[in-house]
Chain A
Amino acid sequence: MSSLKTSWANRVSDRSLLYIFLLPTFGFLLFLVVFPLAWSLYLSFTTYSANIDQPPIFVGLSNYTAIFRDPEIWYRFVVTGQFVVLTVIIQFFLGFLIAMLLNRKFYGRGLLTTLFILPMMFSPVVIGKFFRFMMDTNWGVINYLLVGVGFPRIAWTASFEYALYSLVIADVWVWTPFMVLLSLAGLSSVPRYLYEAADVDRASGWFKFRYITLPYLAPILTLAVLFRTMDAFRFFDLVYVMTGGGPGFSTQTIPYYIYMLAFSFWRTGKSSALAYILLIIIIALSNIYINYLNRVRRA
């Protein structure tokens, strides 16, 4: 042991330890995130097609102004917003409810918990594909069951009104377990003695929930909602396999539209500009969450 204490490791100062520990993380980030980002920022001010061997032509802000003037793009922002709000809210309440129900001692609790988080392990892409199969208007099993209990037949992925809801359902199915998991984690981090003290004072169930459970859960729930919101904004793969943006453009979320611009229409410059606008929105939103998170952490 003493040889270890006098080894070279003992001479690493705190300062250099800081650099050694952070270097790989920031090296990777610089190489694979910051640099490509700077590049696409440059491309967003140009007219450029990545599939044609011609250098980018600088056009200033015209990509951005074109985007802001385009009502079709505004419509796609609305679609994206609807999707984000719907999925995050449903996932939050559903996941939290399941976690609250699971958070008590009963026989088979571990097994039930594992079964509830099982959907998270499936690939969203294959799930999306499979949901399309189940949601088929005529021979899909979901319509069969719904019609069986008296609902009208719904053209899930094939109709303008319902296509977005199909995506929401699939996304909720895949990602609610994430909320369950983080809520459970938060719930079991609440110190027992607080509840015991409240029991001694004969506090009501609501009082315990409101003044003990919720404050303890606030940071982790905020973090969970932050991650879900960010993911919902980047939402791409389910659209790709479930609806392909259709019917019409009813489910063309912004990330999917960026993909189309970049890899179907090869309008690299314009797609970079749109990607930047989306990024700024996400960063602004996350900032709000994080400020809130820091506030509750400090409290």
Chain B
Amino acid sequence: MNEFQRRRTKDRIIVLMLLVMLLVYLFPIYWMFSTATKTLAEAFALPPRWIWVPKLEHFENIFYEGAGGELGRVMRLETERRPSPFLRQFSNSIIVSFVSTGLATFLGALSGYVFSRMSVKGKNDLLFVILSSRMLPPVAIAIPLALMYRALGLFDTRFGLVIMYTVFNLAFAVWMLRSFVDDIPREYEEAAQVDGYSRFQTFFKFILPEMRVGMVATAIFSLIMTWNEFTFSLLLTSDRARTAIPAIAHSLGTAGVNWGHIAAGSLLMVGPVVVFTFLLGDNLIRGFTFGAIKE
């Protein structure tokens, strides 16, 4: 066997290993999909039904209030169908997570630039303060926050959640984006400044575009974190501004846990994030590639 053939065989073995790992790894997602599209009797059947006729009833039921569709019928709790608050919660999730992701990424870029390029007094301490905002167990500040939010009228508002999530993602954004600026050659700015641009202009005209990839990666990550955040939404909202995740987690219904309903809800929730990641996905790997800009 020559060098080329040996390498090709090795590649094939590795791909095969990856596929086997993937099979195990993605099993829960497959199972979630199957639970969401089976009837409850099928979902609980053992040995599992490997072949079934997919039904969309669970996806539909999410949008209606009542005793959880099928399960309700079985237990004779079916009531009149009313629209459920899911659409509102879903749009809360969209607004809150996209706005706070945008804010955190932009503010993170500003601070990341300063921390990478300028001499700031007590730089390491300040960076540590920023990072420590992410170390906080949310429950540690939950009580004063809840009291404060009530006093300021921020409780159960989308604005309140947006600023909370912005802070929540800032630490990651600042630290990530500082690394990105570190990787942009200083010559870029020096050349621009020789040409008579101020630092302010240099940043917006030259550095920010160079950080694009890193910002997208940071944004995708922040979006995932915010979209799926649970604790703050649970503790800082009640009805109007509640996002979809805590709502799904609490959707026990009157007739017990409807697993089909929960599986369908989870799949619906993952949709926007997957779409967003696929649209910008090229940037994700490249973006986390700190060295991409160097080349």
Contact = CB atoms under 8 A, between A and B. Distances in A.
A189 B292 CA distance: 7
Given A127-B28, A129-B262, A181-B284, A268 B143 contact: yes
B255 interface: no
Given A5-B197, A262-B139, A262-B142, A123 B228 contact: yes
A227 interface: yes
Nearest to A277: B140
Given A33-B136, A184-B288, A276-B140, A126 B281 contact: no
Interface in B5-45: 11, 14-15, 17-19, 21-22, 25-26, 28-29, 31-32, 35, 44
Contacts of B265: 126
B133 A29 contact: yes
Contacts of A227: 134, 172
Contacts of A113: 285
Interface in B246-295: 246, 248-249, 257, 259, 262-263, 265-266, 269-270, 273-274, 277-278, 281, 284-285, 287-292, 294-295
A181 B285 CA distance: 7
Interface in B197-220: 197-201, 203
B118 interface: yes
B291 A188 contact: yes
Interface in B172-211: 172, 174-175, 196-201, 203
Contacts, number: 269
Nearest to B115: A22
Given A24-B107, A32-B164, A104-B14, A125 B138 contact: no
A125 B290 CA distance: 31
A124 B291 contact: no
A104 B208 CA distance: 31
Contacts of A225: none
B75 interface: no
Given A22-B114, A113-B285, A125-B249, A35 B230 contact: no
Contacts of B134: 227, 230
A14 interface: yes
Interface string A180-198: 0110111011110000000
A98 B18 contact: yes
Contact of B245 (A39, A125, A272, A275): A125
Nearest to B168: A32
Interface stretch (A59-67, A85-93, A149-157, A234-242): A234-242
A36 B232 CA distance: 14
A12 B164 contact: no
Contacts of A17: 114, 118, 199-200, 203
B144 A40 contact: yes
B198 A9 contact: yes
B47 interface: yes
A130 B263 contact: yes
Contact of A25 (B111, B136, B144): B111
A233 B284 CA distance: 27
Contact of B48 (A36, A101, A141, A189): A141
B67 interface: no
B167 interface: yes
User: In the complex, which range does the number of interface residues on chain A fall in?
Assistant: 35 or more
B290 A189 contact: yes
A218 interface: no
A9 B285 CA distance: 35
A286 B137 contact: no
Contacts of B46: 139, 144
B48 A124 contact: no
Contact of B140 (A29, A122, A130, A279): A279
Contacts of B15: 106, 108, 112
Interface string A235-260: 01100110000000000001100110
Contacts of B44: 139
Contacts of B48: 141, 144
A144 B273 CA distance: 32
B56 interface: no
A32 B270 contact: no
Contact of A123 (B47, B124, B166, B230): B230
Contact of A286 (B18, B113, B132, B274): B132
Interface in A188-216: 188-191
Given A39-B144, A139-B46, A181-B288, A14 B199 contact: yes
B147 interface: yes
Contact of A126 (B118, B130, B141, B245): B245
13 contacts: A21-B110, A21-B113, A22-B120, A25-B108, A36-B148, A40-B140, A115-B22, A120-B224, A126-B266, A141-B31, A220-B290, A227-B172, A271-B143
Nearest 10 A/B pairs, CB to CB: A189-B291, A185-B288, A275-B140, A123-B228, A39-B144, A36-B144, A21-B110, A126-B266, A36-B141, A234-B137
Given A32-B164, A115-B26, A130-B31, 10 more contacts: A10-B198, A17-B203, A18-B118, A22-B120, A25-B110, A28-B166, A29-B130, A119-B28, A130-B262, A182-B288
